[in-house]
């Protein structure tokens, strides 16, 4: 009984999310939302990295919640979780600085120029762009490396060391994938969408 109720609740939420038009109808409102999220994420990312550099470099690993969460200063010349660390320095520059910069710029321009975009997509892209910019700032200012300081896991099963920018990137990817998974069939008629919404609200 409880399992069916929970399943129905998630199903209803999925239908509503997939059929809800963007809340920020005007492009100017969407741009304001994107810029707000980007500013907040970038500020949090840079402030926490500054704190890590100033206070955590020579400190031992700090463990919280029964060692589920750790604060541990580290530097990373690769991508998320250290991917690409072994690449030659010039290759890392072109991949992580130049190519990443082009991709971030492309996404940002797309978000600003799009005539129609749902709120969940706007939020997801804002998180992706802010996370990318946050780590790109590190690579440019710090000579090719990124400051990381968080780690999660249970026992030997742990994540790599990450930062706020990484969290923003992963959150953006999660939002996009979840939205696309529950998104309505583009061929579905407006009448069918209305029926689904009414059914979910019943």
Cβ neighbors of 66 (< 8 A, separation 6 or more) are: none
Give the three-class secondary structure for 33.
helix
Task: Provide the pLDDT for residue 9.
Answer: 45
The CA angle 57-151-36, to the nearest 5 degrees, is: 90
Contact between 73 and 52 (Cβ < 8 Å): yes
Task: Provide the pLDDT for residue 46.
Answer: 97
Active site residue 185: no
Q: Assign residue 151 a region (left: φ > 0; alpha: ψ between -120 and 50; beta: otherwise).
A: beta
Active site residue 190: no
Task: Provide the pLDDT for residue 199.
Answer: 55
Strand arrangement, sheet containing 62-64: 62-64, 69-76, 146-154, 157-158
Task: Provide the pLDDT for residue 13.
Answer: 40
Residue spans of the domains in the chain: they are 24-184
Please choose, from the candidates 90, 105, 86, 165, the residue with its C-alpha nearest in 3D space to the C-alpha of residue 132: 165
* Rounded CA separation 130/165 (Å): 7
Task: Provide the pLDDT for residue 36.
Answer: 96
List of E strands, 1-116:
62-64, 69-76
Please choose, from the candidates 145, 151, 169, the residue with its C-alpha nearest in 3D space to the C-alpha of residue 45: 169
* Rounded CA separation 155/148 (Å): 20
Active-site option among 45, 67, 166, 190: 166
DSSP 105-143: HHHHHHHHH-S---HHHHHHHHHHHHHHHHHHHHHHHTT
Active-site option among 8, 67, 138, 148: 148
Ramachandran angles phi, psi of 40, nearest 5°: -65, -45
Task: Provide the pLDDT for residue 168.
Answer: 96
pLDDT per residue, tens digit, the chain (202 aa), is 444 444 454 444 444 444 444 444 477 888 899 999 999 999 999 999 999 999 999 999 999 999 999 999 999 988 876 777 888 888 989 999 999 999 999 999 999 888 888 889 999 999 999 999 999 999 999 988 999 999 999 988 998 899 999 999 999 999 999 988 887 555 444 555 555 445 555 5
């Amino acid at each position: 009984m409880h399992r069916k109720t929970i399943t129905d609740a998630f199903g209803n939420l999925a239908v509503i999310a997939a059929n809800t038009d963007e809340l920020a109808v005007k492009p100017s409102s969407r741009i304001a939302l994107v810029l707000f999220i980007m500013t907040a994420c970038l500020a949090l990312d840079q402030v926490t990295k500054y704190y890590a550099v100033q206070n955590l470099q020579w400190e031992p690993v700090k463990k919280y919640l029964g060692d589920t969460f750790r604060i541990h200063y580290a530097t990373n010349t690769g991508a998320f979780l250290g991917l690409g660390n072994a690449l030659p320095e010039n290759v890392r520059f072109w991949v992580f600085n130049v190519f990443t910069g082009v991709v971030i710029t492309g996404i940002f321009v797309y978000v600003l120029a799009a005539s129609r975009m749902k709120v969940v997509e706007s939020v997801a892209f804002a998180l992706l762009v802010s996370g990318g910019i946050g780590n790109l700032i590190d690579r440019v200012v710090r000579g090719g490396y990124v400051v990381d300081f968080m780690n999660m896991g249970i026992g030997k099963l742990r994540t790599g060391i990450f930062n706020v920018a990484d969290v923003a990137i992963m959150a953006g990817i999660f939002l996009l994938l979840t939205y696309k998974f529950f998104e309505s069939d583009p061929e579905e008629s407006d009448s069918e969408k209305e029926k689904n919404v009414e059914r979910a609200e019943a």
